[in-house]
Amino acid sequence: MIQELFNLKEKTAIVTGGANGIGKASCEILAAFGAKVVVSDYDLEAATNTSKSINDKGGSSIAVHCDVTKDEELVKLVNKTVEQFGGVHILVNNVGGGGAGRESPYDIEVEQFKKVFEMNVFSMWRLCQLAAPHMKKGGYGSIINMSSMASINKSPAISAYASSKAAINHMTRNLAFDYGPDEIRINAIGPGAVRTQALRKVLTPEIEKRMLAKTPIKRLGEPEDIAGAVLYFAAPISKWTSGQVLFINGGGEQTLD
Ligand SMILES: NC(=O)c1ccc[n+]([C@@H]2O[C@H](COP(=O)([O-])OP(=O)(O)OC[C@H]3O[C@@H](n4cnc5c(N)ncnc54)[C@H](O)[C@@H]3O)[C@@H](O)[C@H]2O)c1
C-alpha cells in the first residue's frame, strides 16, 4: 500500500520547542499520521496544552519539560520518552533563537554569541547523540534539524544566528555519514519568514511589504507549511533521503533589512 509510506503508527517522535509555532504544527501533523509524540518545551504549561489538544483529537502524546540548553534535561527527555513509549524513532530538533537584527558586534558580548550556538547547535548535536542509539535499536531513525534561510542569506546584525544556522546545515550533511550505515536519516529544513510568535516580535507592515516584494508566492509562511516537510522527512517516504537541507520560503527570500 503506497499510503504506508506516510504511516507513522508504531513510531515515537520527540519535538523540541513543540508547544508553539513550527514545533506545535510539527507535533500535530506527526500525531495525525499516527506517531506517538513527545511535546517538549521549557514552557510546560503551553506544551501541556498542545499535547492535550492532540489527545483530544484522538492522537497520542505527552508533554515533557525540557530546556535544550541544559544537558541533564536532554538526558531526562530521552529517558522519559523511552520509559513512556518504549523507543525513539523521530527527532525534530526545532528549538532555535537569536538573530532578529540584534547581533551587531558593536552591541553584543561574546557570551551572547556563545549562547546562540549553545541553543541552536550544541543542543541539536547532543540530542542526536542521545537519541540515535535508540533509533538504531528500534530499526528506524529520522532526525530533522530546524535551520533557517538565514543560514544562506547575508544581513546586518544577525551574525550569531545566521552562522549557527549555517553550522546546522553542514553538521547535518556530515552527521548523515555517521548515521547512514545504521539507516538513520538526518535532514534539515530552512524556513523563510513564518508567522509565529518569534516573527511577530520583529515584523512590521513595512518589513512584510519588502519581504513580499522578493517572494513569488505572495504571502508569508504559516507553521503548517513547514510541518509538511517535517512529515516528509519523518515518514518512510523519504527513506533514501539524508544529508539534505530543504528551504521552504514561498520561492523567495525574506530578510529583516
Ligand atoms: N518563524 C520564522 O520565521 C522562522 C524562520 C526561520 C527559522 N525558524 C526556526 O524555526 C524554529 C522554531 O521557531 P518558531 O518561529 O516556531 O518559534 P516560536 O517562538 O513560535 O516557538 C518556539 C518554541 O520553543 C520554545 N523554546 C524556546 N527556547 C527553548 C529552550 N531553550 N528549550 C526548550 N524550549 C524552548 C518556546 O517556549 C516556544 O514554545 C527555530 O529554530 C527558528 O530559528 C523560524
Ligand 1 atom nearest to 66, measured from its CA: 33
* Cβ burial, residue 83 (10 Å; 0-12/13-18/19+): exposed
Give catalytic residues, as residue numbers. Answer: 161
How confident is the model over 40-54, as a mean pLDDT?
Answer: 98
For 226-248, what is the HEC assignment?
A: HHHHHHHHHCHHHCCCCCCEEEE
- Distance from the alpha carbon of residue 2 to the mean position of ligand 1, in angstroms: 33
Say what the pLDDT of residue 168 is. Answer: 99
- Distance from the alpha carbon of residue 4 to the mean position of ligand 1, in angstroms: 30
- Verify whether ligand 1 is closer than 6 Å to residue 23 (CB atom): yes
Amino acid identity, residue 256?
L
Residue 77, sorted as left (phi over 0), alpha (psi -120 to 50) or beta, turns out to be: alpha
d(CA 15, CA 47): 10
- Verify whether ligand 1 is closer than 6 Å to residue 235 (CB atom): no
Q: Which residue's CA is the nearest one to ligand 1's atom 30?
A: 67
Say what the pLDDT of residue 100 is. Answer: 82
Average pLDDT of the chain? 97
Amino acid identity, residue 167?
A
Q: Which residue has the cell 542569506?
A: 153
Say what the pLDDT of residue 99 is. Answer: 82
CB 9 within 8 Å of CB 85: no
C-alpha grid cell for residue 105?
558586534
Per residue in 77-102, pLDDT (tens digit) is 999 999 999 999 999 999 999 988 89
Domains of the chain: 2-248 (3.40.50.720)
How confident is the model over 170-199, as a mean pLDDT?
Answer: 98
Distances (CA, A) of 132 to 55, 65, 124, 163, 246: 27, 21, 12, 25, 22
Q: Kindly state the percentage of the chain with pLDDT values over 90.
A: 98
- Distance from the alpha carbon of residue 16 to the mean position of ligand 1, in angstroms: 9
- Verify whether ligand 1 is closer than 6 Å to residue 49 (CB atom): no
Say what the pLDDT of residue 15 is. Answer: 99
- Verify whether ligand 1 is closer than 6 Å to residue 67 (CB atom): yes
The number of residues in the chain equals: 257
Q: Kindly state the percentage of the chain with pLDDT values over 70.
A: 100
How confident is the model over 156-163, as a mean pLDDT?
Answer: 96
Answer whether residue 257 shows pLDDT above 90: no
Q: Which residue's CA is the nearest one to ligand 1's atom 26?
A: 17
Answer whether residue 216 shows pLDDT above 90: yes
- Distance from the alpha carbon of residue 153 to the mean position of ligand 1, in angstroms: 19
Q: Which of 71-85, 91-105, 165-179 has the lowest mean pLDDT?
A: 91-105
- Verify whether ligand 1 is closer than 6 Å to residue 119 (CB atom): yes
Geometric angle at alpha carbon 137, from 184 and 118, rounded to 5°:
55
Geometric angle at alpha carbon 244, from 42 and 162, rounded to 5°:
55
Say what the pLDDT of residue 4 is. Answer: 97
- Distance from the alpha carbon of residue 96 to the mean position of ligand 1, in angstroms: 5
- Sorting pLDDT into bands at 50, 70 and 90, what band is 32? very high
pTM of the model: 0.99
